[in-house]
Structure 1
Amino acid sequence: MADAHLYEVALTLLPGIGGQLTRLLVSYCGSPKAVLEAPPGKLQKIPGIGPKSLRAVTDGARQALLEAEKIIRQAEELQVKLLFYTSEDYPDRLKQVADAPTLLYFKGKADLNQQHIVSMVGTRKPTAYGQAVTERIVEELKQHHVMVVSGLAYGIDIVSHRAALQHGLPTVGVIASGQDIIYPSAHSRYADKMMERGGILTESPFGTKPDAHRFPARNRIIAGMSDCTIVVEAAMKSGTLITADIAHSYDREVMAVPGNITSSVSEGTNYLLKTNKAAVYTSVQDLVELLNWDLAHKQSQKQQNLTLFNQDEFSADELKILKVLQQSQEEQMDNLSWKAQVPVSQLASLLLSLEFKGVVKALPGKRFSLLA
């Protein structure tokens, strides 16, 4: 496992090789180790790999592996889990997002793939109304066993985390710094308590400071790893509205709490509602109806039965493909490769086999879906 982590971490340290290109390389080569050990001739044949990317891999591999060793040692010392996007513990909801981080640093005990996950975001300077509403929402979420995700910042973020701790709900703080730098430091005591059932999550390597430009990137993780983002109070120009926009771009649900029309921190939430960019939140029943949680148990049981039935009829790789198609309805071939963690070289024959078995159909543009 340590050897696998070495190549996974090293791959994320190559200059100029972003998340999408990393997934493409792994899909074609089969593993991070195979990417870093591949001859230039093989890498050149991969679509999207130009001279600059080729040099980054071939010339940067040795230094990246040395740096990766240091990161792995530090992760072990601080009890931080390294979650490459192919890990079973990597958040599945986030994995479906095109610009998802390739590697996450996680410390804690939370199940990042539990059934219900909600993000809570809002202003750093909430009113008494905003604080009270946030606490009420979290209390209402308890009956549905929800994990609460936020950004550990001042305001609505820390009120959400604190309320989750009070009501025994797992809560995860997504930070813009490295795991060794909790920001703001005043919230370190809450971060420590969150480790018991929740945790702290970041894409930033150790030693990374919480510079301003890292927060919008942090916000995409908050939006991408949850079923719904609830906005409590927000000004018109704020990081909170950026998070709401990101959630929209990911086709995730957004809800907003109506606010006082004379309050500046209600302008953003009321704008989201007025422009139909968010559904209204007045009680937990609004959330249950929006996300069809009342049907979730039946659907979960149905999918579980289907998976159990399939295990006798399909290979392990075929089951991976079917699981992805169950979740996203249809997928383009390259996306299907990295989401199912099946190399492109094997994917075509597996899809053909599934077509012959009558469970998958091919669509125009190299897209595939399950047969109804």
Structure 2
Amino acid sequence: MNEEKLLAILRLQKSKAIGDILAKKLIVNVGDVEQVFKEKSATLQKINGIGANALKHLFDKKNIEFAQSELKYIQDNTIAYSYFLEDDYPKNLLNCIDSPILLFKGGNINLNNDKIISIVGTRNMSSYGRDFCNKLIEELAEHNPIIVSGFAYGVDICAHKAAIKNNLQTIAVLAHGFEQIYPKIHKKYINQVNENGGFFTEFWSEEQPLRENFLKRNRIVAGISKATIIIESAEKGGSLVTADIANSYDRDVFALPGRASDMYSKGCNNLIKNNRAELLTSADDIVKLLNWDIKENPKKTIQKQLFIELNENEQKIYDLLNQKGQQLLDVISLECNIPIYQLSSILLQMEMKGVLKPLPGKLFELI
């Protein structure tokens, strides 16, 4: 990615009153992130959600200075990053409408493995929860999953350590920038995590671990994985927020049950009771529900209809999906330069022709 483009992304990310959803909408509608700041205000105001306040912050000159400073930090420290329109962006996060437009990363993260699970829970972990977490990850090790968590006290760090012990990749999602670590006592685990996976954060280098940042962080923990596992939680807590977000993303949620009298089992018990999570008693529950126990067979050859006639726009879409695989609706719109309002009907026609099929989360792939 060239410097001008990265600077534009950082500038957009820094703009107050413009969150990730609106940022993506801007990029898709004008065609490119750099064009956002070259477009006339009158044109931008026609985009749903762009009001006077958003425009005011979008063109705030202070954001240029902030973005230039962060760009220098990224270059000086060789910080890696993933942009939501590039191939190395976590595929599961693409399904999440509010996922970050830019993620910073460190370590040796490899997301080619599709078996990704998040494990979260209370910071006040009991011996019951700790023993279960360790045993669960040990039993799952034969399936080689990636273990995601938030690097916090209790369940989080237990999950990371158990993953490392079982030679599994583990990813820690931070609620702050790379210039500090929270909690400080976990600095001793940084090298181990980097060697066996790495770190993700959407926050700039100097960003502190504020309360609201942990809540934002939770959506990445929930969105990056196929399933979220809650191991012990009080009646209220951050892990329950993560479970709610995972449910909103239509992801599987599991919860470890406990005694009705135990304070740090009430949250899990309530999730199960209200059908917001599957009851979790062993690794087999995860393996079966996520179909990890089904051995992969050679793909059956599907005879495609020959000589299907495609118009110019349909051919663009076909070529994109053929080259890059399944893609998000907004990405197809941007890559093929077709407005969303036109794209939906084109995709429907291609579906009726038997060329492609829709997937959950506004994804599409060729048949």
> In the TM superposition, what is the alpha-carbon distance from 1:164 to its structure 2 partner?
0.7
> In the TM superposition, what is the alpha-carbon distance from 1:50 to its structure 2 partner?
2.4
Give runs of aligned pairs for residues 175-186 of structure 1, distance below 5 A: 175-186=174-185
- Provide TM-score, normalisation by structure 1: 0.84
Q: What is the match of residue 352 of structure 1?
A: 346
Gaps of 5+ in 1: 328-334
Q: What is the match of residue 332 of structure 1?
A: none
Distance 1:353 1:260, change over 3 A: closer
Give runs of aligned pairs for residues 1-372 of structure 1, distance below 5 A: 1-3=1-3, 4-57=5-58, 59-60=59-60, 62-295=61-294, 297-298=296-297, 301=299, 317-320=317-320, 336-338=329-331, 341-342=334-335, 345=338, 348=342, 352=346, 355=349, 358-359=353-354
Partner Cα distance (1:302, 1:49) in 2: 47
Distance 1:102 1:188, change over 3 A: same
> In the TM superposition, what is the alpha-carbon distance from 1:202 to its structure 2 partner?
1.2
State whether residues 318 and 366 of structure 2, in contact with CA within 8 Å, keep that contact through their aligned partners in structure 1. no
Matched residue of 1:359: which SS?
coil
Matched residue of 2:70: which SS?
helix
State whether residues 26 and 343 of structure 1, in contact with CA within 8 Å, keep that contact through their aligned partners in structure 2. no
Gaps of 5+ in 2: none
> In the TM superposition, what is the alpha-carbon distance from 1:190 to its structure 2 partner?
0.9
State whether residues 89 and 113 of structure 1, in contact with CA within 8 Å, keep that contact through their aligned partners in structure 2. no
What is the percent sequence identity of the aligned residues? 34
State whether residues 337 and 344 of structure 1, in contact with CA within 8 Å, keep that contact through their aligned partners in structure 2. no
> In the TM superposition, what is the alpha-carbon distance from 1:97 to its structure 2 partner?
1.0
Structure 1 residues 40-59: Cα deviation after superposition (integer angstroms, max 9, x where no partner): 233233333222223333x3
Partner Cα distance (1:322, 1:259) in 2: 48
Superposition CA RMSD, Å: 3.3
Q: Kindly provide the amino acid, as one letter, of the partner of residue 179 in structure 2.
A: D
> In the TM superposition, what is the alpha-carbon distance from 1:136 to its structure 2 partner?
0.8
Count the aligned residue pairs: 354
> In the TM superposition, what is the alpha-carbon distance from 1:369 to its structure 2 partner?
6.9
State whether residues 134 and 232 of structure 1, in contact with CA within 8 Å, keep that contact through their aligned partners in structure 2. yes
> In the TM superposition, what is the alpha-carbon distance from 1:293 to its structure 2 partner?
2.2
State whether residues 360 and 368 of structure 1, in contact with CA within 8 Å, keep that contact through their aligned partners in structure 2. no
Q: Kindly provide the amino acid, as one letter, of the partner of residue 191 in structure 2.
A: D
Higher helix share: 1
Structure 1 residues 302-357: Cα deviation after superposition (integer angstroms, max 9, x where no partner): 69x999x9xxx985643545899968xxxxxxx71246643654663796388369
> In the TM superposition, what is the alpha-carbon distance from 1:26 to its structure 2 partner?
0.7
State whether residues 355 and 361 of structure 1, in contact with CA within 8 Å, keep that contact through their aligned partners in structure 2. no
Distance 1:306 1:206, change over 3 A: farther
